[in-house]
Amino acid sequence: MSYYIIGTAGHVDHGKTQLIKALTGEDTDRLKEEKERGISIELGFAALTLPSGATAGVVDVPGHEKFVRQMLAGIGGIDLVLLVIAADEGVMPQTREHLEIIDLLQIRKGLVVLSKIDLVEQDWCDLVKLEIEETLQHTVLAGADIVEVSAVTGQGVSRLVELIDQELAQLTPRESTGPCRMPVDRVFSLPGFGTIVTGTVYHGSIKVGGPVAVEPGGLASRVRSLQVHGSKMESASAGMRVAANLPDLEVADIPRGATVLSPGYLTPVKTLDLSFRYLPSAAAPLQQRQRVRFHIGTKEVLGRVQLLDREELEPGNTAFMQILLEEPVIAVRGDKFVIRRYSPTQTIGGGTVLDTGQRKYKRFDPEVVRQLAVKEKGAAEDLVYAVFQAAAQPLEVPEIARLSGLTKDDVEDCLPLLGDKVDHTGTEDQDYWFSLARADNWTKGVKDTLAAFQAKYPLRQGFPKEEFKSRFFPGWSAKHFSAYLNYLQKVESLTVSGNFVSLPGYQPGPHGQLQHITDAVLLDYAKAGLAPPEWGTVLQVNHLDAATGEELLQFLLRQGSLIKVAPNLFFEANAVKEASETVLGLLAAQGGFSAAEAKDRLNTSRKYLIPLLEYFDSQKLTRRLNDKRVKF
């Protein structure tokens, strides 16, 4: 089933909430204050099932100017926008501002709803439609269908639903594989559940029981439960409107504007490289270092404009620039943003994130502008490599395509052109790509860590694989980690044996004085036969501390030199083998034997005999039948 997000936009009291109720049957005015004032203050949501079977979450964004911040929070993740214009009033100031925001964010699809047609004559509707068509010229909604609707009588509602279904069917589905990214637009608490966050999954998927990070802030939690449009789900993917229960966190910990992520996926940044379009309607030139309100995803943060090739930017022009933010944000290349004047608040422009800037650029440097031009419109292979250089883990082709803004076919064509700057690895069903420069960074310190560990614990099989993942690859999925281990083995950086990793050629074993002690211990056990010494006595005789003794014991057990027959009872392996052969001989000759008969043949005491016979039972060599042992 396909999932989409539909957003409404338009002037206050032009009928957006009533329209959603006519479409879905749900009233999105959920706050008491909203009921009393008759306007939507916070974001409201409703579910719409389309004729094709697809499900859309409909976002009711506020229309009043003072609530544009909420409008921006709701519209950033939508697939299709409904620009609602009342037939009795036509295009109004907030209609134009919302349209500017829609244009700046480049919403993928859009329809215009001419609402409240029951209040006017058809001739008036026709005039308003001409005004709308003129207003939409040179915007992303130019040529969009204008649907006449009355939420009161129901006229035009079914036609609107058909057009919504047709428009959404033309969209490429969002990428639902890979790590999760979900900007949070609402946080609240429910008794018995704890903290709930809501938002639209922009990318990847989120699962019940899965770990998540909340950024900025470095918070960690685990998803207790999920709801999509009021229904419980085990997982939710890109395009779904989600409520996630994060019981480990407090409401106060998660301000609006935070993002729920797969652990380790993205890092908050305070500098972004931007391609910026300054609206012609802006009142004055944009000045270098001017303080502005920066909107991205669901977050608003203050920042200062860093113009790279001029001191001011005239309205109606475009430029490359950096934004130097006062608080960190989560962003990726290709994200859309909107900038509003600090005071008085007014939308003045927006554009596209080119990169999460790692440093502040030198101004008036032609090379900087050239590099940003490459990021915006440069060669496809340059865009792909830029994605690799910023990646926190190996990437699948669909993820590279999303981050670079290219198609999957384009990415696959680019990869051979990058030559020896990139490599790939995989599992049976996935293939992952990465830059070798980033790979060096990921594995920095790996060899030194493994060498130090092996020197300290020469008897162990190697460094525990899960601990190795936590230390060097935190936040990576099991598939990413497994695939990259395959690569590290291929290039002979390390060896994987079961649940352990080690340097190539490493063989666990004693050295020096410990080798002499090991030989002496095994000789004592061999001489003792079926009357072995206690391990504690072995430690005392050989002057071994408990920790070293435990390391040696586990090594000898793994090597098969000693066999654990019962708790704190260990036999030399050859002695056990000879005893088993004796037992098999008794079974062959007599069909069964008593403990007394075994004691005579094995020449040992009951202290050792009974645990040994029970060990043979556990190994399915024998089984006890009344007072005898018979063949299993």
Answer whether residue 476 shows pLDDT above 50.
Answer: yes
Place of tokens 């779904």: 240
Answer whether residue 540 shows pLDDT above 80.
Answer: yes
Answer whether residue 31 shows pLDDT above 70.
Answer: no
CA distance 131 to 127: 6
- Give the mean pLDDT of 440-452: 92
pLDDT digits (tens, 9 = 90+) for 568-577: 999 999 999 9
- Using N-to-C axis directions, what is the helix angle for 606-618 and 573-590, rounded to 10°? 80
CA distance 287 to 496: 57
Q: Which pLDDT band holds residue 462 (cuts at 50, 70, 90)? A: very high
**Predicted local distance difference test score (pLDDT) of residue 401:** 83
pLDDT digits (tens, 9 = 90+) for 233-261: 999 998 888 899 999 999 999 987 899 99
- Among residues 112, 173, 102, which one has the least CA distance to residue 398? 173
Paired tokens of 197: 């966050």
CA distance 224 to 438: 34
pLDDT digits (tens, 9 = 90+) for 580-602: 999 999 999 999 999 999 999 99
CA distance 201 to 227: 12
**Predicted local distance difference test score (pLDDT) of residue 186:** 87
CA distance 367 to 370: 5
Answer whether residue 40 shows pLDDT above 50.
Answer: no
**Predicted local distance difference test score (pLDDT) of residue 429:** 76
Answer whether residue 92 shows pLDDT above 80.
Answer: yes
pLDDT digits (tens, 9 = 90+) for 390-418: 788 999 998 888 777 677 888 999 999 99
Residues ≥6 apart with Cβ < 8 Å to 570: 525, 532, 535, 553, 557, 562, 563, 564
- Give the mean pLDDT of 465-490: 92
Paired tokens of 551: 């390391």
Paired tokens of 246: 């994060």
Please give the biggest Cα pair distance in the chain: 115
- Whether the ω angle into residue 216 lies within 30 degrees of 0, i.e. cis, is yes
- Give the mean pLDDT of 286-299: 95
CA distance 135 to 142: 9
pTM: 0.62
Q: Which pLDDT band holds residue 495 (cuts at 50, 70, 90)? A: very high
First to last CA, the chain: 55
Place of tokens 């933010």: 325
CA distance 8 to 71: 9
DSSP string, 135-152: HHTTSTTTT--EEE--TT
**Predicted local distance difference test score (pLDDT) of residue 70:** 57
- At 479, phi and psi to the nearest 5? -70, -45
Q: Which domains does the chain have, with CATH numbers?
A: 3-169 (3.40.50.300), 181-261 (2.40.30.10), 269-374 (2.40.30.10), 379-440 (1.10.10.10), 443-502 (1.10.10.10), 527-631 (1.10.10.10)
Q: Can you point out the beta strands (E) in 79-179?
A: 80-86, 109-115, 146-148
Instruction: Please count the helices (runs of H) and the strands (runs of E) in the chain.
Output: 20, 34
Paired tokens of 347: 């939308």
DSSP-derived 3-state class of residue 278? strand
CA distance 385 to 381: 6
**Predicted local distance difference test score (pLDDT) of residue 231:** 84
CA distance 201 to 210: 15
